[in-house]
Amino acid sequence: METLIGTTVHRVQGIIQNDGIPDLLLRLAGAVFALISVYTVGVTVYNIYFHPLAAYEGPLLARSTLLWRIWHSLQGRLHIAIDDGHKKYGDVFRVSPNELSFASLNSWKDIYGHSVGEKQAFVKSEFYDMYGAGFKSLCIGSERDIQKHRKMKQSLSAAFSTKALREQEFVVAKQVDAFVERVGRDGGPGSGGLNMSKWYEMVAFDILGEMAFGESFNCVTSGKPHFWQELILGHLFFITIADNLRRLPLVPTIAKFFFPFISSIKNRHTGYTRDKVEKRLEAGVKSEDFMSNLVGKVKSGEIEKEEMTAHASTLV
């Protein structure tokens, strides 16, 4: 080993003396490129022919690399690409080297069903760790521990019962009426048209604001999105980026490039959520909404305020 190291050092010294440092750097760059190329080809061949999922059909780019998944995901069209894939390949097809997409009734029950006897329920993927980032507690949407998720579900179930939702019908009707009236007024003949995706987002935000916090965000009334709505959409977009980055070998290095901007969005989002929850706690249980049951549980010490805050973020 010492002889090999000594020989290598001697060769490097010879290159520096004869050709100079620029030539040495050029050779090193060539060697690194060659190693990356060999590694990429090797992984691609393995994924296509020797991977445990190699027998499953799918687009060649999806079976061999992460590029197919990342490309469609960042375009916001992954769901469409997957639907097209199922039409072509059937109930099961490969969307990335390590992932399969299922589209059958039995698979739905197996993946999202509860533990029954010896059959254990599936645990959520690592994606949900990022989805719930920013709070000291996970929420109903991000909690991966099955027992903890079950406890959270019990805390929230009363708010989503048939009776509770029927009592909230007037909130939905009021906001939808305001939406129809405003769109009819602003989108009539000669208006040039409206961005209906944005307007649907605004009415949904108004409805959820009133059902979660007891007050609308008045997006439809003002005719423009609330800043928190834009913040949440930006937060979700960068969660998508982070979900793709975590799959790459160089994720720690790449993530540092996005970290300051992502942290800024996350901190503004979590800060405003905490402000809204604090205001909702101060209001007490004046009317029944999604948070009414949680307000009582926080004040009794049954759950932490941070858990209620995490739930509020998910509900909106």
The domains of the chain are located at 2-123, 128-315
Q: pTM of the prediction?
A: 0.72
The residue-averaged pLDDT of 69-75 equals 91
Tens digit of each residue's pLDDT (9 = 90 or more) over 47-68: 999 999 999 999 999 999 999 9
Distance, CA of 310 to CA of 138 (rounded, Å): 6
Distance, CA of 200 to CA of 134 (rounded, Å): 27
Give the number of other CB atoms < 10 A from CB of residue 202. 24
Tokens 């190693």 sit on residue: 35
Distance, CA of 303 to CA of 3 (rounded, Å): 65
Distance, CA of 19 to CA of 25 (rounded, Å): 11
Q: Which fold has domain 128-315?
A: Cytochrome p450 (1.10.630)
Question: What proportions of the chain, in percent to the nearest 5, are helix, strand and coil?
Answer: 70, 5, 30
pLDDT value at residue 246: 78
Q: Are 142 and 166 in contact (CB under 8 A)?
A: no
pLDDT confidence tier of residue 9, bands split at 50, 70 and 90? very low
Q: Which residues contact 243 (CB under 8 A, 6 or more apart)?
A: 73, 127, 130
Tens digit of each residue's pLDDT (9 = 90 or more) over 249-292: 766 565 666 566 666 777 788 888 888 888 888 877 666 677 87
E-strand stretches of the chain? 92-96, 99-102
